[in-house]
Homo-oligomer: A and B are copies of this chain.
Amino acid sequence: MTRRKRPTMIDVAEHAGVALRTVSRVVNNDPTVGTGFANRVQAAITALGYTPDERARHLRGGRSGLIGAAVRNLSAGHPVLGALDATACSHGLTVLATATADEEDREREVVLSMCGRHLDGIVLEPVGDNHQYLSREIDAGTPIVAFDRPAGGITVDTVISDNAAGIGAAFRHLRGHGHHRVAYIGDEERIFTGHERAAAFRACMAASGEPVAGLVHPGVVEPARIAAALDAALRGPDPATALITGNASTTLEVLRHLGSAAADLAIVGFDDFAVADLLRPAITVVAQDSDTIGRTAIDLLRHRMADHTRPVQTVTVGVELIVRGSGERPPTPEA
């Protein structure tokens, strides 16, 4: 197999017997090029099958139609990423997504790499709380929108869910079903949403006058950590009778660890997930509005692309409690 080289503007210039800048002017539809030259260049372009290098056109300041999305992961389901993609597509834009694996160094590397490609804009699910490495890109006019979590140390358009309202709704729902010992197990507090939800839970406990000791368990979402948190919450003289899980992966780990013992607890999960309705009992959740989050992020990005001087906005999107069964059980005294 012989590797056929893609014809370049230089090849066209040689074939046509004209200067490189003449080819450039023809390719850029410069009307001041003489007809004779233009015809020779066009003939050479046809003969060689030359197509302008897309990157070269971008260098002249055009739009690529590509939007970068730096998200937590590409392996598990990501409904907001799906909504970003669908909305972008409806505006003739293509989303290129990459995973940060929730690692700050990785985020910095992949996002700056995207900036180097001069995409039309970047949608970021930020890790950590310092994104000053993007200041220069923002100043240079790269539109950036943060979603799910705010970016730190920079001022960019942001879309977040109303985490406090969601935790409040879950807490009141469980209290309404008679639970006074409610525990929380969620994501690490270095993650913005993990912090917001744990903090909202502590605030609910304080407002209700209940002691929080042994009931608030943010941390890494790993089987051993979740098992330890469940152990702390459900053992002892005054165990929890109800549980709020801080995100979908925590909910699944909790269900996996508890097995049939999950039936002894009332459970409300933050985040809906694909088969929450198929589990028995089906899982009551605080659902984020992924479609609105994705659509809003793309809309903010498009507005920023059109007018980089408009005021920076943060949009908080409402959440919804979906009652399915797991969150409506009364307390079992012997739990």
A interface residues (Cβ-Cβ under 8 A, vs B): 1, 3-6, 49, 53-56, 58-59, 64-66, 68, 73-79, 81-83, 85, 89, 94-99, 101, 106, 109-110, 113-114, 116-118, 136, 139-141, 252, 255-256, 273-275, 277-280, 308-309
Contacts and interface: CB of A to CB of B under 8 A. Distances in A.
A72 to B, nearest CB: 11
A55 B118 contact: yes
Contacts of A95: 74, 98-99
Contacts of A85: 74-75, 98-99
Nearest to A83: B75
A301 B142 CA distance: 31
B75 A76 contact: no
A116 B52 CA distance: 9
Given A85-B75, A116-B54, A279-B275, A3 B139 contact: yes
Which of A99, A101, A256 has the largest count of B CB atoms less than 10 A from its CB?
A99
B109 A98 contact: no
A106 B65 CA distance: 14
Contacts of A99: 82, 85, 89, 95
22 contacts: A1-B309, A3-B309, A6-B141, A55-B59, A55-B118, A59-B59, A64-B113, A68-B96, A74-B78, A75-B83, A76-B77, A76-B274, A89-B99, A89-B106, A94-B110, A96-B96, A97-B97, A97-B98, A252-B275, A255-B278, A256-B277, A279-B279
